[in-house]
Structure 1
Amino acid sequence: MTHFTQKDIDEMHHVYKINLINSCSGYKSANLIGTKSSEGITNVAIFSSVTHIGSAPAILGFFLRPNTVTRNTYDNIRETGYYSINHVHENILMEAHHTSAKYDKTISEFDKTLLEEDYKGNYLVPFVKDAPVQIAMKYIEEYPIKVNNTILVIGEIQDLYLADNLLEPDGFIDLSKANVASINGLDGYTIPKLKSRLAYQRPKI
């Protein structure tokens, strides 16, 4: 096996280290987070750090890089208190990836890509049209990660919208039916397929 020590990692070229460490944790979710500023300018950006925190209450978290530069998503969430989470699927990979480009807050990524805004209920924040899973989120709290100055943002699910035929009788959402993408590292995309579902495990007697 290829082996890297902590010293090896510390001394790596910056880009090589970023690619290596972002890949070693495994496949990550691919989501577009939609927000709108208090001035009414929409924003959509790709995130690979959305994660389940708990089901009662139904809360999800995501990590933000250090706010040493402008973070439009974060600023908009703090201004309005709401945002949307939208699953990336196979047909929008290129457009979704382009939202990682750093545009000024006066420019909407929706205007620079083929992604389309979608609005549901009374929410002022945009969802991504045709995303198979769309989640309306309310900001709850955040936690600073001191070791690298990142932020864990925690929100509560307000409404959950699913494309037809994804929901199984027991509540399981079969994402493979919608060709939902996963991210490998920073820029590697894959479309996983469901292999099997295994029963709840108990200790062997």
Structure 2
Amino acid sequence: MILSKQDISALSKVARLKLINAITGIKPANLIGTISAEGHPNVAVFSSVVHLGSDPALLGFIMRPQGEVPRHTYENILATGHYTINHILPSFAERAHYTSGKFPKEVSEFARCGLTEAYIEGFQAPFVQESSCKMGMRFEEAIPIPLNGTTLIIGAVEHLILPETVDIHQEVFDLEATESMGISGLNSYYTLTKYAEYPYVRPHNIPDFDV
């Protein structure tokens, strides 16, 4: 099957949305927690979190266009300068999914979807208690993407909260062991199974592949 740009444009809005959202493969499944200047907590599911650099430790995520519907996450980040990123696990994936509903700003998705707010001293934004891997983020920059009206939100990692069983000195961070999940499209959730582990690649250690 070969689809041209015209073929893709001719698809129904829903079919096109589902196809293009899924075609990149499995994406990280995270909940982003924020709190408004008035003290209203918010949490919402995102699948666009991406690594931007390790020194300094920077992560980004994509915020959909403003104006279509209120973007409480974005408003809260701008108001307070902080937010959290929390891995989604099978034990609460269904509850996490329903945070994507369009709730009024004064309604807490934590309370409505059966999730628990957690805080650490000196950090304003709420973490998701049920998550095994949590990141406390400081807002650094918002980069508009004129092509489609989205915005790249860039944040610096200020806190990491990890399971006690994780050995941070190992070469590989084992996502299967943390039970972290992935998302395809808008509503398909996947567990992660480690397939293989390969060495850091240098020219001298590349095998002679029989091709």
Runs (4+) of structure 1 exceeding 6 A deviation are none
Secondary structure at the aligned position of 2:100 is classed as coil
Q: Would the aligned equivalents of 2:22 and 2:185 in 1 still touch at CA under 8 Å?
A: yes
Instruction: Give the Cα–Cα distance (whole angstroms) in 2 for the partners of residues 121 and 173 of structure 1.
Output: 26
* Greater Cα offset, 190-199 or 38-47: 190-199
Q: Would the aligned equivalents of 1:141 and 1:153 in 2 still touch at CA under 8 Å?
A: yes
Instruction: Give the Cα–Cα distance (whole angstroms) in 1 for the partners of residues 140 and 175 of structure 2.
Output: 27
- Deviations, residues 52-110 of structure 1 (Å, cap 9, x unaligned): 00011100000000001210000000000000000001101100000000101111101
Unaligned runs of 5+ in 2: 207-211
1:156 is aligned to 156
2:76 is aligned to 76
1:115 is aligned to 115
1:101 paired with 2:111, answer no
- Cα offset, 1:120, TM superposition: 1.3
- Cα offset, 1:6, TM superposition: 0.6
- Cα offset, 1:130, TM superposition: 2.6
- Cα offset, 1:142, TM superposition: 1.0
- Please tell me the residue identity of whatever aligns with 2:150: T
2:177 is aligned to 177
1:22 is aligned to 21
- Please tell me the residue identity of whatever aligns with 1:142: A
* Greater Cα offset, 175-184 or 11-20: 175-184
- Deviations, residues 21-76 of structure 1 (Å, cap 9, x unaligned): 00111110000000000000000000000000001110000000000121000000
TM-score between both structures, scaled by the size of structure 2: 0.93
Secondary structure at the aligned position of 2:92 is classed as helix
2:30 is aligned to 31
2:209 is aligned to none
Unaligned runs of 5+ in 1: none
- Cα offset, 1:168, TM superposition: 4.9
2:196 is aligned to 196
Q: Would the aligned equivalents of 2:58 and 2:154 in 1 still touch at CA under 8 Å?
A: yes
Q: Would the aligned equivalents of 2:34 and 2:84 in 1 still touch at CA under 8 Å?
A: yes
1:11 paired with 2:1, answer no
* Greater Cα offset, 48-57 or 192-201: 192-201
Q: Would the aligned equivalents of 1:168 and 1:174 in 2 still touch at CA under 8 Å?
A: no
- Cα offset, 1:113, TM superposition: 1.1
Instruction: Give the Cα–Cα distance (whole angstroms) in 2 for the partners of residues 72 and 90 of structure 1.
Output: 26
Instruction: Give the Cα–Cα distance (whole angstroms) in 1 for the partners of residues 135 and 171 of structure 2.
Output: 16
- Deviations, residues 164-197 of structure 1 (Å, cap 9, x unaligned): 2233533532111121110011111000111221
Q: How many residues end up aligned between the 2 structures?
A: 204
Secondary structure at the aligned position of 1:92 is classed as helix
Instruction: Give the Cα–Cα distance (whole angstroms) in 1 for the partners of residues 141 and 13 of structure 2.
Output: 32
- Cα offset, 1:122, TM superposition: 1.4
- Please tell me the residue identity of whatever aligns with 1:175: L
Q: Would the aligned equivalents of 2:133 and 2:178 in 1 still touch at CA under 8 Å?
A: no
Q: Would the aligned equivalents of 1:117 and 1:128 in 2 still touch at CA under 8 Å?
A: yes
